[in-house]
Amino acid sequence: MPARTDVPALFRDPRTQPAGLFEDGKLLACLIPKRTPDLGWGQGPCLFLEAVHTLPDQPDDITRLITLWASDFAARLDLPLVRAETLARHALEAEPIAALLRRLSGIGWDVRGSGPRRDEDRVARLELAAEHRPGLSALISCRVHPPQPAPDDRSST
């Protein structure tokens, strides 16, 4: 997503089918889950997490909760993987992106290299195996419509 995108408008748009992650009724994070078969990288269908945002002053465990939820949600949709991208303006070995990628790797994400996002920003590409996680609702709740397949961008060219 380009930096110039109106993020609040993106989450108000019902066509994006945004999801909010809540703990004890308090919004912790919001994101747009998409059932995306082809991102231009990776093989096969996946749940793609777009526009992941956490609210300020949240505990560090929010990233772990998003990871657990996404893995479980993908498994419930019978998708084998979750994919995501994070902005990486410099080499993946350079700080501060290297520290973030080490942290994400430590909670189950695999770094699949880097490259341009559709808006041309350079990103690190991440994958996570889908896994059913019974009892997760005791930690975090999320109400979300099952994501629709993304339109095939190639059909408009």
Strands annotated E in 76-148: 81-87, 110-116, 122-129, 141-143
Token digits for 135? 């009892």
Model confidence band, residue 56 (pLDDT cutoffs 50, 70, 90): confident
Q: Could you give the 3-state DSSP secondary structure of residue 154?
A: helix
Q: pLDDT class for 123, splitting at 50, 70, 90? A: very high
DSSP string, 105-118: HHTT-EEEEEEE-T
| 131: its two tokens | 């896994």
Confidence band of 16 (pLDDT split at 50, 70, 90) = confident
Could you give the CA distance from residue 82 to residue 152 in angstroms, rounded to a whole number? 19
Q: How many CB atoms lie within 10 A of CB 76?
A: 13
pTM of full prediction above 0.85: no
Query: Smallest Cα–Cα separation from 132: which of 91, 58, 73?
Result: 73
Looking at residue 74, its amino acid is A
Q: Give the number of other CB atoms < 10 A from CB of residue 99.
A: 10
Give the count of beta carbons closer than 10 Å to the beta carbon of residue 16: 16
